[in-house]
Amino acid sequence: MNTSKKGKSSSDASDISADREMLDPYEASARYYDLWHEDFNDDVEFYLRLAERTGGPVLECMCGTGRVLIPFARKGYEIAGVDRSATMLDRCTTKVSFERPDVQHRIELHQGDVVDIKLDRKFRLAFMPFNSFLHLLTTAEQEKALLNVRDHLEDGGLFSFAVFSPRLDRPEHLVRHRGTRVTTQGEIISWFEAQVFDQGNQRTTVTYFYDISKQDKPVRRVTTEFTLRYLFFREALELLSRCGFEVIETYGNYHGGGFTATSPIMVFVARKR
């Protein structure tokens, strides 16, 4: 496995990219990410089917803890992962270190921002799974990221991403219990979520509360907050087209179903023009 880490960020407050690097909403919650998400693999199968069409090498933008990236390397694909969170990448690195040497060898990890990272190779397939695109909060960031991904694709290469289809009728401030899990160390962790909308800026802020307890010990709460810029179907098509992609397929789930008004997600597959 090859890894590249960013140098220390500048503390110059006028340096917007440094500010972006300093904000890591995953720092507090990275520990709990896999507990809830590692069993989810519908999208892994979907992206693997795309890779069968394109071949590798493959780029995963915003790869996090390697939930998607590691299965790709196990299947024999060379894959590079980019993520700006040192905490998420550290977890990924630890998980990769338990893989067979040949699997490790096919993985490259880079700490950086998809908006401006420069890798010295090109890929046949790039993807950005699981709502990650919504972390790009302005149109300018979305466009820069898409143009940067495009620069990293070979001619005719494919790019795919999936995001939730916005449901603006969701009640605000209502705390929902997302589930309770027990870790191998016997910690009981309950995950709660509450959401507010800023419709003028097309953003939603989601607060996660993790309540951690162990039998009769006092409960400890870890709280973390994410702001996401939700996206509409037509907007995504126009964005991709503006940034040099031809949208060749769209879906409303990971099993080939078309996008409809009630689809929970929107999946886009686009070719570099």
Residues that bind ligand SAM (CB under 6 A): 26, 37, 62-64, 67-68, 82-85, 88, 113-115, 129-132, 135
Nearer to ligand SAM, 40 or 232 (CB): 40
- Least distance between ligand SAM and beta carbon 186 (Å): 25
Q: How far is the CB of 98 from ligand SAM (least distance, A)?
A: 17
208-237: string of b/e by CB count within 10 Å (b at 16+)? bbbbbeeeeeeeeeeebebbbbbbebeebb
Q: Please, what is the minimum distance in Å from the beta carbon of residue 85 to ligand SAM?
A: 3
Here the tokens at position 271 are 């070719």
If the CB atoms of residues 24 and 214 are measured against ligand SAM, the closer one turns out to be 24
Q: How many CA atoms lie within 13 A of 20 on its CB side?
A: 16
E strands of the chain, at which residues? 2-4, 58-61, 79-83, 107-111, 123-128, 153-164, 176-182, 188-198, 203-213, 220-229, 245-251, 265-272
Residue 8 structure tokens: 């220390």
Per-residue burial over 17-56, b if 16 or more Cβ lie within 10 Å, else e, is eeebbeebebeebbbbbbbeeeeeeebbebbbebbeebeb
Nearer to ligand SAM, 143 or 188 (CB): 143
Residue 226 Cβ, how far from ligand SAM at the closest point, in Å? 9
Which one, 20 or 122, has the nearer CB to ligand SAM?
20
Q: Which is nearer to ligand SAM, 92 or 189 (CB)?
A: 92
- Nearest distance from C-beta of residue 51 to ligand SAM, angstroms: 15
Q: Which residue is nearest to ligand SAM, using beta carbons?
A: 64
**Cβ at position 155, least distance to ligand SAM in Å:** 24
d(CA 157, CA 58): 10
Q: Which residues are CB-contacts of 112 (< 8 A; sequence separation ≥ 6)?
A: 4, 6, 82, 83, 84
34: Cα separation from own chain's centroid: 13
Residue 140 or 219: the one with the smaller Cβ distance to ligand SAM is 140
103 or 117: whose CB is closer to ligand SAM? Answer: 117
In the bound complex, what is the minimum distance in angstroms from residue 20's beta carbon to ligand SAM? 7
